Chain A
């Protein structure tokens, strides 16, 4: 598997707009889209997740905070094949036209980890 960088870290909050403003004001990071801030080759994304979703569960159980990281891979199909061969459970998902792999947190040492091959 070819992993090139941390694509984003995701902060979940009951008020994602306010959370983004906190990070903008404190860290002087510039916007990278409507709900993200740029930092080097990565982004910090801010989400208010719906209840019952993967990130909604994170917000409900752990509260506001960093809930997920996403790594940029060269080829999602190759990444899926590598995970299968290693016996790692995962779910493939299309969200807003962007395919992603959500690795089972049990395999990723408790980390909600997504792999994507698009920016």
Chain B
């Protein structure tokens, strides 16, 4: 069952520059920064109510986020829903004939995650995230907070 918007992903050229608006002007606190090696991306999570803004900085032009930045520039990237069972959500989407990007849940910054193909979701790149339980170490690559 989907409970809330977990986060909205925003592609930026540089995290440190982006903090000037999202953290300093809007006042959203950064609570996690990490490098996700298999995605070739640095990500920062900023708290907003029960949700987050996820700033994504590509580390290479060939990564998915790097290609997005080159083609479309900075901007909105994806919408992530929180769930307590990402596997069940993925199965449910498959049963409804939804095109999937991930065939199985995988570890991500937000928890166990998977993406649906925007061709099935009105052009919106949708992610499901089942947050890690308390005490879980999460992904390696976490950086000190700015």
- Enumerate chain A interface residues (CB-CB to B < 8 A): 1-6, 9, 11, 13, 19, 22-23, 25-29, 39-42, 44, 62-69, 71-72, 82-83, 86, 88, 105, 107-112
Contacts and interface: CB of A to CB of B under 8 A. Distances in A.
B93 to A, nearest CB: 7
B144 interface: no
14 contacts: A4-B48, A6-B51, A9-B5, A9-B8, A23-B121, A23-B122, A25-B96, A26-B98, A39-B4, A39-B5, A66-B76, A66-B79, A109-B74, A111-B74
A5 B75 contact: no
Contacts of A64: 122-123
Contact of A62 (B2, B5, B55, B72): B72
B4 A108 contact: no
A28 B122 contact: no
Contacts of B3: 39-40
A9 B75 CA distance: 13
B91 to A, nearest CB: 13
B27 to A, nearest CB: 5
B73 A41 contact: no
Chain B interface size, under 10 / 10 to 19 / 20 to 34 / 35 or more = 35 or more
Interface string B8-37: 101111000010011011111000000000
Nearest to A43: B5
Contacts, number: 115
A65 B27 CA distance: 27
Interface in B71-90: 72-76, 78-79, 81-82
A41 B118 CA distance: 24
Contacts of B12: 109
B124 interface: yes
Contacts of B55: 109
Contacts of A26: 93, 96, 98, 120-121
B133 interface: no
B49 A5 contact: yes
